[in-house]
Amino acid sequence: MMFGNLQAKQFPFYFGLQSIFSLVLLLTTCKILNVTSFSRFLAWLTLTNQEQSFDDFQIYNFMLCLGFSVINYSYIGPVYTGVMFQIHKIEKAKPEETPTELKELKKRFGMLHGASSLLNLVVFGCALVNCFWLGHRLDLSGGN
């Protein structure tokens, strides 16, 4: 229970920061790729696959990252926490009187936990891909 209470306090902050940093990275990537206005962004979105490069993929990468972060922050995190507190309440009261309800809540909790973890791993993977992309763009030749 103590760990659950700690998680309930940390998750909103963590997913909020994850969303903010994803947005910052999306905007930074747009700036690096010279997609500096909304109209250019919309025009960029209509490019065909043949016209796009791995550089262009980074914008999709961070759109995905931002979307999953916001889903975790605004939907999965709060529902996950609510289900966890319901489980704690039942376990604290009389768990032997509500085994079916407790079993269903634990199943739902497991699904939400799995979904949240999966989204979190995808966001981490997107950030990792961006690290490789940025590393590839570095000019270590000393400007020659």
∠ at Cα 9 (80, 122), nearest 5°?
A: 55
Residue 20 lies in a domain: yes
Is the model's pTM score more than 0.85?
no
Predicted confidence at residue 99, as pLDDT, reads 78
Q: Which of 25, 18, 44 is nearest to 131 (CA)?
A: 25
Residue 65 lies in a domain: yes
Token pair belonging to 53: 């490069």
Q: What is the pLDDT along the chain (144 residues), one digit of tens a residue?
A: 667 677 777 888 988 999 999 899 888 888 887 777 677 677 767 766 566 677 777 888 888 999 999 999 999 999 988 998 888 888 888 756 667 888 899 999 999 999 999 999 999 999 898 888 888 777 776 655
Residue 117 lies in a domain: yes
Within 10 A of 136 (CB to CB), how many other CB atoms are there?
Answer: 9
Number of domains composing the chain: 1
Predicted confidence at residue 69, as pLDDT, reads 93
Residue 141 lies in a domain: no
Residue 59 lies in a domain: yes
Give the separation between CA 84 and CA 113, rounded to whole angstroms: 10
Domain residue limits at 76: 2-35+54-136
Residue 47 lies in a domain: no
Give the separation between CA 86 and CA 80, rounded to whole angstroms: 10
Residue 46 lies in a domain: no
Predicted confidence at residue 75, as pLDDT, reads 94
Give the separation between CA 31 and CA 39, rounded to whole angstroms: 14
